[in-house]
Structure 1
Amino acid sequence: MKKTARAALRPDGRKPGPRAEPPRAADRIRRSAQDLFYRQGIRAVGVDAIVAEAGVTKPSLYRSFASKDELAAAYLRDYEHEFWRRFDAAAAVHPDDPRAQVLAYFTGLAERTGQPGYRGCGLTNACVEYPEPEHPARRVAVANKRKVRERLVDLARRMGARDPEALGDGLQLLLEGAYVSSQMLGPEGPVRHLADVAARLIDASVE
């Protein structure tokens, strides 16, 4: 009688589950681009480096993305998604307290600047790299900054600020300053006072 092959057991004695599908080429390209673009800058990273890191071919890249510029825009859309995830997570901890929502995000940001490899905001960095208004990467970055401004002004309004636009703009200036100064002076520089300065600005602006 013919014996059927038995599936090898896992080290813990359980049967293995269904084999996971390997990541698609487009996903590997996107992840590799995200890592390289953030660490080294978008302009500094060539297509050859991306495909080598992803373990794919150039035709695979161009089947998924029309150009490096479009890949850069995709990277920034992914980055923006992660930004809002963090911002909304901080807000969710204080659902009825807009002041605490802002300070929670600013506190978390100051802590992240001390993590290895921190290079500020990828969206801000893209604006510096690409001054051309119609560049796909810049358009994604600028759209995000406008949304952030609207969100901060709305939070300032909910706080009861005398001039919500002025407070929202002030908070955004602090945010952008933290992204840049932390890259130059590290977590022990001005960014360590980020939440405290924001709190003082809010308290001076609210009725």
Structure 2
Amino acid sequence: MATRARERLLDAAEELFYAEGVRAVGVERILDVSGVGRASFYRHFTSKDDLLVEVLQIRDRQWRAWLSGTIDGWHLPPGQRPLAVFDALAERFSRDDFRGCAFINTMVELADRTSAAHGVAAQHKQKVIDYLDTILAAAGHADHEATARQLALLVDGAIVTALREGTPDAALRAKEIARAILASAR
């Protein structure tokens, strides 16, 4: 039963943090939504920050699995995969529950580069760069490491712009910029 309580806490926290923000959601709210008692919360997590770190670690694995699974599921040749990232993002931005990037949101809200949550968010961004690097290398791009960092900047910019504008169009505009970057890198 303790495992189920932990899962309920993680599920409730993920949903609430993403929908309402890390600072806006207190432990009491997480307890109410999860139906877990305070003593059980503290058996599983030392603090809300500890819970946040685990939520971000889980979300990192899920988000990266979603991205690579989406790209792999389209069965594209290697040369088309880097640009397909932006098509995947456009689909994500079209969802009713899209509220930006949980990792960017956390870094902005906490504004503490030394926090454990910031560290997890920064690691997530590096893993996304690593994924982009992998698909760029597979596509035959010589300067794939530098190009991966450029595309990651476009990804983050598209995410923030899509949130600001409320449409998936930012992903398609970023795709066109990425297309120009990839063409010039050839």
- 1:195 and 2:175 aligned: yes
Displacement after TM superposition at 1:90 (Å): 2.8
CA contact (8 A) 2:90 2:168 kept: no
Partner of residue 175, structure 1: 155
Measured in 1, the distance between the counterparts of 2:76 and 2:169 equals: 32
**TM-score scaled to structure 2, two decimals?**
0.89
| Aligned position for 1:97 | 77
Which gives a bigger RCO, structure 1 or 2 (Cα 8 Å, sep 6+)? 2
Whether the 8 Å contact between 1:39 and 1:119 is mirrored in structure 2 is yes
Whether the aligned pair in 2 keeps the contact of 1:94 and 1:101 (CA below 8 Å) is no
Return the match for 2:145 from 165, 174, 179.
165
Give 1 or 2: higher helix fraction: 2
Equivalent in 27, 36, 44 of residue 64 of structure 1: 44
2:112 is paired with a residue whose SS is coil
In structure 2, distance between residues paired with 1:116 and 1:198 = 26
Contact in 2 for aligned 1:99/1:202 (Cα 8 Å): no
Is 1:43 equivalent to 2:28 in the alignment? no
Residue number in structure 2 paired with 1:154 = 134
Q: CA deviation at 1:166?
A: 2.5
| CA-CA distance at 1:88 after TM superposition | 1.8
Letter in 2 for 1:32: A
1:28 shift after superposition = 0.7
Q: Distance between the aligned counterparts of 1:154 and 1:37, measured in 2?
A: 31
Higher Rg:
1
The secondary structure found in structure 1 opposite 2:113 is coil
Deviations 1:22-81 (A, max 9, x none): 981111111000100000111111001000001121111111111100100111011111
- Gaps spanning 5+ residues in structure 1: where? 1-20
Mapped to 1, the partners of 2:172 and 2:54 lie a distance apart of 32
Contact 1:133/1:139 (CA < 8 Å) preserved in 2? Answer: yes
**Structure 2: unaligned runs, 5 residues or longer:** none
Q: Percent identity?
A: 31
